[in-house]
Amino acid sequence: MSKIEENSYSGNKLIDDLDLNPIDIEICDVTLRDGEQTPGVVFTKEEKMNISNQLDSLGVEVIETGFPVVSSDEKDTVKQISNMGLNARTCCLSRALTSDVDSALDCNVDMVSIFVAMSDLHLIHKYNKSCEEMISCALDTIEYAKDHGLEVRFAAEDASRTNVDTLKNVFLRAQDYGVDYVSLADTVGVLNPSTTYHLVNEINKSVETPICIHCHNDLGMATANTLMAAEAGAKQLHTTVNGIGERAGNAPLEEVLMGLLVEYNIDRYDTTGLTDLSRMVEDYANITPPVNKAIVGKNAFTHESGIHVMAILENPRTYELFNPELVGGKRNLIVGKHTGIKALKGIVKSMGYSLEHDELCELKEKVKNCTDIKHGISRNKLEEMIKDIKTHGI
């Protein structure tokens, strides 16, 4: 039985009908590098190693471990993770400098991500150099890294605001130098699904090298853009746990993995560890995801409406796309102001109690008058009310 059948959910049949399944993909999680660029977030070496182990157990293919030239501690951490014996390949960031590649070599990583920006905005205001000067540095660095046996990802920072013909030309030149990937970074999150598809498709027409997509969430479309890039032919999809990262963050790992599973039936990742990993990163980063955060938010499988609760008790598929256990979560039925008698009866029964109709009416009245109603009644509080009714009567 497949994971899909076993966990009883309905995928997107329209996608099946359109035959748009992106099969040849891999995940590169950048939590340890881009995620740590979240203001106020610093992971210890032990925390980074723990996160790496969890990512590896999920089946993530590439882990971007850091930026070694930042500090000696960062370099040591990248090296430690590279030597952990993970199934995932390790990657680190590099500027277009051979000295950065030397740091990567010292760390024993499998892949180096050499980045430059080619947008006019960055060339003028960040580098104060011409595009040709930047590309010349990048190609020299790519050649040096390849000569030293590294996989090379050549990343165009701010690609989404760079002329497409410029990207094509530079990627073709990098391809001649043997790069293993070319990467499109939507650095300020300006893309939408349509423009993402167009950009990846245009590059794919001209370049044979596998394409990576790196989406930021400034407009709240990072997950959608990442999945659309996969449809257009991008191979490597970049994510962070809980979507942490600079400004509004990156494409969340948990959303991308579940999007791949539900929409495209890509089920090679162990999604049951997503909630535990989310809680780990929440603790280490001291950033709590919104309660309504998709997949891992505390309300992702919480139900209060009476109509919903009754249907959930009959068949969870009525109001849940997939079982919470599929992502390591738990269902939570809340008693609150929207809970009717029938739903209340079902919740009480699920807790192992049986109340007569007049007792249920009394319980509903107690719930309505409870000062905790604004936040919903906890299971323990509800059990106290039930026991009080059973003990003292109506």
Residue 269 has pLDDT above 70, yes or no: yes
Cβ neighbours of residue 288 closer than 8 Å, sequence gap 6 or more: 282
Lowest-pLDDT range of 44-58, 126-140, 165-179, 305-319? 305-319
What percentage of residues in the chain have a pLDDT greater than 70? Answer: 92
| pLDDT class of 272 with cuts at 50, 70, 90 | very high
Cβ neighbours of residue 300 closer than 8 Å, sequence gap 6 or more: 292, 293, 294, 324, 329
The per-residue pLDDT for 394 is: 60
Residue 127 has what DSSP assignment? I
Where helices occur in 39-130 by DSSP H, the ranges are: 45-58, 72-82, 98-106, 120-122
More confident residue, 14 or 243: 243
What structural domains does the chain harbor?
3-285 (3.20.20.70), 302-392 (no CATH)
More confident residue, 218 or 376: 218
Strand pairing category for 111-117 and 211-215: unpaired
The per-residue pLDDT for 346 is: 84
φ, ψ of residue 334 to 5 degrees: the values are -105, 135
Residue 2 has pLDDT above 70, yes or no: no
The per-residue pLDDT for 157 is: 96
Long-range contacts of 45-49 (CB under 8 A, 24+ apart): 45/73, 45/76, 45/77, 45/80, 47/284, 48/77, 48/81, 49/77, 49/80, 49/81, 49/84
More confident residue, 352 or 83: 83
What percentage of residues in the chain have a pLDDT greater than 90? Answer: 74
Q: In whole angstroms, what is the distance from residue 172 CA to residue 207 CA?
A: 6
The per-residue pLDDT for 124 is: 92
H helices, E strands: number in the chain: 16, 10
The per-residue pLDDT for 338 is: 75
Residue environment code for 179-188, b if the CB has 16+ CB neighbours within 10 A, otherwise e: bbbbbbbbbb
Residue 17 has pLDDT above 70, yes or no: no
Please choose, from the candidates 384, 308, 392, the residue with its C-alpha nearest in 3D space to the C-alpha of residue 351.
384
Lowest-pLDDT range of 203-217, 263-277, 353-367? 353-367
| pLDDT class of 16 with cuts at 50, 70, 90 | low
The per-residue pLDDT for 5 is: 57
| pLDDT class of 335 with cuts at 50, 70, 90 | confident
DSSP code per residue over 303-363: E--HHHHHHHHH-GGGT-SS-GGGGT---EEPBSTT--HHHHHHHHHHTT----HHHHHHH
The per-residue pLDDT for 253 is: 98
DSSP SS3 for 176: helix
Q: In whole angstroms, what is the distance from residue 67 CA to residue 61 CA?
A: 19
DSSP code per residue over 144-162: HHHHTT-EEEEEEETGGGS
The per-residue pLDDT for 373 is: 59
The per-residue pLDDT for 58 is: 98
Mean pLDDT across the stretch 242-249?
98
The per-residue pLDDT for 127 is: 87
Residue 337 has pLDDT above 90, yes or no: no
Whether the CB-CB separation of 256 and 60 falls below 8 Å is answered with no
Tokens 């089946």: give the residue: 59
Mean pLDDT across the stretch 55-76?
98
Residue 9 has pLDDT above 90, yes or no: no
Distance, C-alpha 76 to centroid of its chain: 26
The per-residue pLDDT for 200 is: 98
CA angle at residue 296 from 85 to 344, to 5 degrees? 140
The per-residue pLDDT for 375 is: 64
Q: In whole angstroms, what is the distance from residue 27 CA to residue 257 CA?
A: 9
Tokens 């780990």: give the residue: 280
Q: In whole angstroms, what is the distance from residue 384 CA to residue 371 CA?
A: 14
The per-residue pLDDT for 222 is: 98
φ, ψ of residue 51 to 5 degrees: the values are -60, -40
Mean pLDDT for the chain overall: 92
Q: In whole angstroms, what is the distance from residue 133 CA to residue 175 CA?
A: 18
pTM: 0.91
The per-residue pLDDT for 351 is: 87
For 107-159, what is each residue's pLDDT tens digit?
999 999 999 999 999 999 988 889 999 999 999 999 999 999 999 999 999 99
| pLDDT class of 21 with cuts at 50, 70, 90 | low
Whether the CB-CB separation of 180 and 151 falls below 8 Å is answered with yes
Residue 10 has pLDDT above 70, yes or no: no
The per-residue pLDDT for 308 is: 85
Tokens 């605001």: give the residue: 161
Q: Which two tokens stand for residue 17?
A: 């009908």
Whether the CB-CB separation of 113 and 153 falls below 8 Å is answered with yes
